[in-house]
Amino acid sequence: MKSIARWLAAAFGVLSVGYYLWHGLTYTPSGPFDDGVLAWVGPQMALPIIALTVVPIVFAFSGDGIMQAFNGANSSAFRNGRIGIGTIKSFRQTGLTVNDQPQVRIEFSVEGMDGKIFDSAAKMIVPLTELALLQPGVVLPVRYLPDRTDKVEVDRSGDPAAAQRAMNESMIRKGFTTRGKLDIAARGIATQAVVQSLSVPGEIRDGHTKIELGLAVTRPNGTTFSTRAEKFLPPAAIANVQVGRILRVHYLPENEQEVVIALPVNA
């Protein structure tokens, strides 16, 4: 649909300018007082003027990220695409703005649902106040098409469960978690724990460092119990689990020694 709109707009522009030039070049003066100015100035100017207005608008609004900026949804081509995990490699502004909000091109490293990694890119309108959030290493859910991986769209479906499932499968494949721990996170009691100790054994997986934490966990009735937990974290996130920090955790009453730590993806 976008291609058809652009072809029609381009054709209208070419025909409008062509008619204007044809009129001017083939114009025949109508009398002694006609000096040929009317060949170029007159009603024939209307079509090129309209084309100069309509064509850029059509190309802008049929571009990547423009319509999504207004309707808050993915384009029709990607709306039912697969969800992958996109890690930002770099980004830059394209020079296009909508209501003073810049369009950016984001370069991603994407992990698909099958675990395969591929490079891709997305264009989207980003409010100025959110530009600082686009940093290398930030993880975002994206929609992709298996037969066209050179382009993706940041997921705008508003379905956090689907994005979470994709993230969970990615973490299992990398050995960061297990299905048992995910079950505890889903069914367990949500509470708080204080970090009492922190050690780093030295194991690294996919750029994530293994840490071992000693925790004092608060039960719903106010009593506490002590346990230990392991987690793989990117180096930048280790500051969030320093001694004395209060963390959100989940556990099952029948097994208090198995505690799952909940941290934001881009913590």
Is residue 106 within 8 Å of 121, Cβ to Cβ? Answer: yes
Token duo for residue 234: 């990117």
- The CATH number of 73-158, from 1.10.3470, 2.160.20, 1.25.40, 2.40.50, is 2.40.50
Give the span between the Cα atoms of 263 and 212, in whole angstroms.
15
For residue range 210-243, list pLDDT tens digits in order.
Answer: 999 999 999 999 999 999 999 998 888 888 999 9
Residue 42 has what DSSP assignment?
S
What stretch of H or E contains 190? strand 189-199
Task: Give the type of residue at 10.
Answer: A
Beta pairing, strands 148-154 & 139-145: antiparallel
Q: Are 84 and 73 in contact (CB under 8 A)?
A: no
Q: What is the rounded CA–CA span in Å between residue 163 and residue 204?
A: 25
Distance CA 79, CA 143 (A): 8
pLDDT by residue (tens digit) across 244-265? Answer: 999 999 999 999 999 999 887 6
pLDDT at res. 61: 58
**For 41-99, how does the pLDDT look when each residue is reduced to its tens digit (9 = 90+)?**
777 778 778 877 776 666 555 555 545 555 567 888 888 899 999 999 999 998 888 77
> CATH number of the domain at 175-262, out of 2.60.40, 3.90.70, 2.60.120, 2.40.50?
2.40.50
Q: Considering only CA atoms, which of 106, 135, 110 is closest in space to residue 121?
A: 106
Residue 129: predicted pLDDT: 82
Q: CB under 8 Å to 226, separation ≥6 — which residues?
A: 196, 214, 215, 216, 217
